[in-house]
Amino acid sequence: MTQTEHTTDSLRITLVGAGVIGAGWAARCLAAGHDVIVSDPSAEAFEKLQASVQQAWPVLRKRGLAAEASTARVRYEPDLAAAVAQADFIQESAPEREDLKRRLIAAIDAAAPASTPIASSSSGLLPSRLQSDCAYPERVLVAHPFNPVYLLPLVELVGGAQTAHEAIAQARDFYQQLGMRPLVVRREIEGFIADRLMEALWREALHLVNDGVATTEEVDAAVVYGAGLRWSLMGTFLTFHLAGGDAGMRHMLEQFGPALKLPWTKLEAPELTDDLIERVVDGCERQADGRSVDQLAERRDEFLSRLLDLVSEYWPENEGLTGHI
Amino acid sequence: MTQTEHTTDSLRITLVGAGVIGAGWAARCLAAGHDVIVSDPSAEAFEKLQASVQQAWPVLRKRGLAAEASTARVRYEPDLAAAVAQADFIQESAPEREDLKRRLIAAIDAAAPASTPIASSSSGLLPSRLQSDCAYPERVLVAHPFNPVYLLPLVELVGGAQTAHEAIAQARDFYQQLGMRPLVVRREIEGFIADRLMEALWREALHLVNDGVATTEEVDAAVVYGAGLRWSLMGTFLTFHLAGGDAGMRHMLEQFGPALKLPWTKLEAPELTDDLIERVVDGCERQADGRSVDQLAERRDEFLSRLLDLVSEYWPENEGLTGHI
């Protein structure tokens, strides 16, 4: 199988699909010291995956590898049934087409041990549909990671109608052991949480280019020199809580609530009902967790100052290129 | 006027409006060594502004103050006409209501030297409308900053129908001297570029909370542990260029183009025409500027690894709090 003996701490993880996301999973799993089998119809895709793992390895080494971690603990198995037959955990990362994923997951389900979790990397398809052709649908879920998978900690866990609670709990433990931040999505919707947000941004960005308002580099500059710097520390809610001054989110909603009626994006906003206002304000107060807006702002500023020092090393002019703006 | 003599290098900047944004401008302008006059109907607002400047000063000192910079070089002038009479540059940061801003800008226009630029901090109102009651509308523009103004470099410059090209050029120089990144918006639309993107995200986030899909902390966690980490380095276009593998954005559009038809956000996407595909792909290639996807990914990974070390110091559990997820 591999040059290294299989130890009790390391798991046998089967990755189905060897594209950018599959390769990212391979790097993360290998760095954590696991044995990885990759199944993909294309042997060439597996070669690319190995090259990607090699490319990621120096940064993973810098971040700290498991004692038993090795890039040699990965092997290719084009036969899907053979690839999953002894797996402790299976991660499917095929192209984002429901028909294809359903077929694949059903085939995995038929060949894998009945209790092995099967997680799909789908970025937005409904797990209830992905699991619907399976004999053991209770162990099927979505676990949606973010590129580069071996560095970004977020993974969204979404169960379908037939997914067992224990499968979600088991998956949560598994991804935490991989050093990730599992976010259990409480309601199954298309696009889940993160891609709903990213798609909104992406679609609006496409409209801006399509309408001739901005070029792609101008759109990107509008992110990286502004709000994008904040988003590595705070999401949109806590960000606006701080923009509201001492009164926080409540003041912010009074001040910018009316703008929700304006045509400031192609997306229509929900009605700002009293109930929604309360939910948003309460949520922000929970997030602030006793810290005043001033205290939050002070920590944010310290972070932003250090981030500016760091990120400006990577700005085009400091890479010897012509800047965007 | 102030304890310090007015020198030739320093400008007399008048800030109209002493809220969070006005206070941010004050800190940035003072740190750059300018003289600042603040006009606001509320003396209490000016006191808060001074407190905000004091709070920002240590981080600004760390980043490097101009030789002549001093928090003492700011004074309060409730009389608007007197406040703008001798200004070299005027920045209006009143609440985001068109009627109020139009009235204020007309009053500023009537009292300020005819050649002094008047910039509005509006985050989305049309400069053509804001300048329409002015005798000298050619020097009126929007210059939209981002909170905290004294740290985030982005400022969007938007001219109205009557704005002179020279006024935009003059404003661009001014903000560059303040250490900012002026992004000249090529077409006047409501919400400009950055707020179109932020509003899309914000509205989608409100829908998620309104529909009971997620709490505010879950929405924020979905940003800060995932895409938000990338957005401090790359905008949505270059990010997707890297997610496309070797073939970059073209492959990405083939792979995820169909998802634009899916209900993955409340926002409808534009039609992915051949023309739009070419514009997006060409734009990404310009941004890559000869760097292969592999080279870009290597720099991104080095950055992300350093960013993770930095930002994790500020994650809730490392602040002694309970984490979001």
pLDDT digits (tens, 9 = 90+) for A239-278: 989 887 778 898 888 888 888 888 888 888 888 899 999 9
Provide, rounded to the nearest whole percent, the portion of chain A with pLDDT above 70.
97
CATH of the domain at A298: 1.10.1040
User: Has residue A78 been placed in a domain?
Assistant: yes
Given a cut of 80, whether residue B7 has pLDDT beyond it is no
**B211 interfacial to chain A (CB closer than 8 Å):** yes
Name the helix (H) or strand (E) containing A204. helix A194-210
**Token pair 């997914």 is at which residue?**
A163
Instruction: Give, rounded to a whole angstrom, the gap between the first and last alpha carbons of chain A.
Output: 52
Nearest C-alpha in A relative to B304: A151
**B111 interfacial to chain A (CB closer than 8 Å):** no
Nearest C-alpha in A relative to B18: A245
On whether both A174 and A213 belong to a single domain, the answer is no
On whether both B76 and B213 belong to a single domain, the answer is no
Both structure tokens of A108: 């995995």
Both structure tokens of B51: 């407190």
Given a contact cutoff of 8 angstroms between Cβ atoms, the answer to whether B110 and B138 are in contact is no
Which residue, of A157, A184, A211, is where some domain finishes? A184
User: Has residue B27 been placed in a domain?
Assistant: yes
User: Has residue B173 been placed in a domain?
Assistant: yes
Given a contact cutoff of 8 angstroms between Cβ atoms, the answer to whether A280 and B210 are in contact is no
Given a cut of 50, whether residue B96 has pLDDT beyond it is yes
Q: Compute the half-sphere exposure of residue B247: CA atoms within 13 Å on the CB side of its CA.
A: 7
Nearest C-alpha in B relative to A225: B154
**B199 interfacial to chain A (CB closer than 8 Å):** yes
Burial of residue A128 (CB within 10 Å: 0-12, 13-18, 19+) is middle
A138: pLDDT confidence band, cut at 50, 70 and 90?
Answer: very high
- Cβ separation of A194 and B232 shorter than 8 Å? no
**pLDDT recorded at residue A8:** 53
On whether both B252 and B126 belong to a single domain, the answer is no
Which residue, of A184, A209, A225, is where some domain finishes? A184
**pLDDT recorded at residue A1:** 33
On whether both B306 and B214 belong to a single domain, the answer is yes
CATH of the domain at A38: 3.40.50.720
B267: pLDDT confidence band, cut at 50, 70 and 90?
Answer: confident
**Token pair 């990212």 is at which residue?**
A24
Q: How far is B4 from chain A (nearest CA, A)?
A: 28
- Over the range B57-84, which residues count as b (16 or more CB within 10 Å of their CB) and which as e? bebbeebebeebbbbebbebbeebeebb
On whether both A276 and A130 belong to a single domain, the answer is no
On whether both A138 and A17 belong to a single domain, the answer is yes
User: Has residue A325 been placed in a domain?
Assistant: no
**pLDDT recorded at residue B2:** 36
- Cβ separation of B265 and A238 shorter than 8 Å? no
On whether both A175 and A203 belong to a single domain, the answer is no
Overall pTM > 0.95? no
**B233 interfacial to chain A (CB closer than 8 Å):** yes
Domain tally, chain A: 2
Domain that holds residue A244: 195-319
**pLDDT recorded at residue B1:** 33
On whether both B127 and B263 belong to a single domain, the answer is no
What does the pLDDT average to over A89-95? 97
Total Cβ atoms within 10 A of residue A298 = 16
- Cβ separation of A201 and B197 shorter than 8 Å? yes
On whether both B180 and B213 belong to a single domain, the answer is no
On whether both A129 and A208 belong to a single domain, the answer is no
- Cβ separation of A265 and B196 shorter than 8 Å? yes
**A42 interfacial to chain B (CB closer than 8 Å):** no
User: Has residue B5 been placed in a domain?
Assistant: no
A231 → closest Cβ in B156, B231, B286: B231
pLDDT by residue (tens digit) across B16-57?
999 999 999 999 999 999 999 999 999 999 999 999 999 999
Alpha carbon distance A80, B315 (integer Å): 40
On whether both A170 and A296 belong to a single domain, the answer is no
In a mutational test of the A interface, the residue from B152, B216, B238 whose CB has the highest number of chain A CBs within 10 Å is B216
**A223 interfacial to chain B (CB closer than 8 Å):** yes
On whether both B204 and B156 belong to a single domain, the answer is no
- Over the range A130-141, which residues count as b (16 or more CB within 10 Å of their CB) and which as e? bbbebebbbbbb
